[in-house]
């Protein structure tokens, strides 16, 4: 095997046909040290949009389209099989970038958001973690809104999400109770701040940050795999309706790419990062978002 083949990394980026995921792929193929060696799998739910994205990138030979709807267990199973059949069944890095945001505060909206932002990532990671190579990385793209949402929960609920012995089953139960409570108007009773803007989205990302910590405990031992969560910050993408105050998607992508390339001694397994700096699992929102709550009603 040649040196270039030995050094080749296989990197999957989900939700990569536009926005942050597209910018992440663009950055990965422009890196001088890796652009010739890395094989990038551009994950896209829609085949045509994925093909168009690759054309926008200039159809580089080392970027391959992988059709993947992270909210669909059957699509995840199919994509896993494709990786096994076409790419040797090995991944160096999985970047879970796919995510959605819905303004409504309804049970249906919560189910849709959690299907992609939590359950989809949980299921995809279960399928693909056995394929991650020695010293590989799993990067879950969360949000600072998740840290704000956790900070607004009751102390008892915060302890549950932050517990060092939290299991996936316990986290699933927390998530299930949250979704049910939206329909029964029991959010405050459970310890959630029902007035928090972006409550459903924020709670889905709080759950993802907690899931990252659980996965890090489960998977790091055997192959020194690092499981990390990151926030790109509020970026000008379709998800934010290209908010004028937002940072560029290119800058947000830097936050996502950092744990892909950083050395292991720069990272702490299971932790939450932004712009290369470790962030707390929960923190107070530094902005006044009260004016945004009406937009969700």
Rg over alpha carbons for the chain, rounded to the nearest Å, is: 18
The dotted CATH code for 3-100+126-147+212-296 is: 3.40.50.720
Question: Is 209 within 8 Å of 216 (Cβ atoms)?
Answer: no
Q: Is the pLDDT of residue 248 over 60?
A: yes
pLDDT digit string, tens, across residues 65-96: 999 999 999 999 999 999 999 999 999 999 99
According to DSSP H, which parts of the chain are helical?
A: 3-7, 19-30, 47-56, 73-86, 107-114, 121-128, 144-151, 155-162, 168-184, 187-190, 199-223, 249-261
Integer Cα distance of 128 and 174 in angstroms: 24
Nearest to 63 by CA among 87, 45, 85: 87
Average pLDDT, rounded, for the chain: 88
Phi, psi of 41 (to 5 degrees): -100, 115
* pTM (two decimals): 0.91
Integer Cα distance of 29 and 12 in angstroms: 13
Residue 247: pLDDT band (50, 70, 90) is: low
Question: Is 8 within 8 Å of 91 (Cβ atoms)?
Answer: no
Q: How far is CA 13 from the centre of its chain?
A: 10
CA distance between the termini of the chain: 59
Integer Cα distance of 234 and 286 in angstroms: 13
Q: Which residues have CB under 8 Å from 148's CB, separation 6+?
A: 196, 202, 282, 283, 284, 285
Question: Is 14 within 8 Å of 70 (Cβ atoms)?
Answer: yes
- Per-residue confidence (pLDDT) for residue 244, from 0 to 100: 53
pLDDT digit string, tens, across residues 99-147: 998 989 999 999 999 999 999 999 999 999 999 999 999 999 999 999 9
Higher pLDDT, 33 or 198: 198
In the chain, where are the structural domains located?
3-100+126-147+212-296
The catalytic residues are 201
**Residues counted in the chain:** 297
Q: Is the pLDDT of residue 35 over 50?
A: no
Higher pLDDT, 173 or 19: 173
């Amino acid at each position: 095997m040649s040196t270039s083949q030995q050094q080749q990394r296989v990197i999957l980026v989900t939700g990569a046909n536009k926005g942050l995921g597209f910018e992440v792929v663009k950055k990965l193929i422009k890196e001088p040290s890796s652009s010739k060696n890395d094989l990038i799998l551009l994950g896209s739910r829609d085949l045509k949009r994925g093909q168009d994205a690759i054309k926008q990138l200039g159809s580089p030979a080392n970027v391959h389209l992988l059709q993947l709807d992270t909210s669909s267990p059957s699509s995840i199973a199919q994509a896993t099989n494709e990786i096994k059949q076409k790419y040797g069944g090995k991944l160096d890095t999985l970047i879970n970038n796919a995510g959605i945001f819905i303004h409504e505060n309804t049970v249906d909206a919560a189910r849709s958001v959690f299907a992609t932002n939590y359950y989809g990532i949980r299921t995809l990671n279960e399928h693909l973690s056995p394929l991650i190579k020695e010293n590989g990385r799993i990067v879950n793209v969360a949000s600072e809104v998740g840290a704000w949402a956790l900070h607004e929960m009751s102390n008892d609920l915060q302890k549950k999400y932050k517990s060092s012995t939290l299991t996936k089953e316990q986290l699933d139960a927390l998530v299930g109770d949250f979704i049910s409570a939206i329909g029964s108007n029991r959010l405050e009773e459970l310890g959630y701040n029902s007035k928090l803007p972006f409550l459903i989205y924020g709670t889905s990302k709080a759950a993802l940050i907690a899931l990252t910590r659980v996965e890090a405990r489960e998977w790091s031992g055997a192959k020194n795999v690092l499981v990390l969560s990151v926030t790109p910050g509020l970026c000008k993408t379709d998800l934010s309706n290209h908010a004028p105050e937002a940072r560029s998607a290119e800058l947000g992508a830097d936050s996502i790419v950092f744990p892909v390339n950083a050395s292991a001694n720069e990272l702490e397994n299971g932790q939450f990062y932004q712009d290369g700096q470790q962030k707390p699992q929960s923190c107070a929102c530094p902005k006044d978002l009260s004016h945004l709550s009406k937009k969700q009603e």
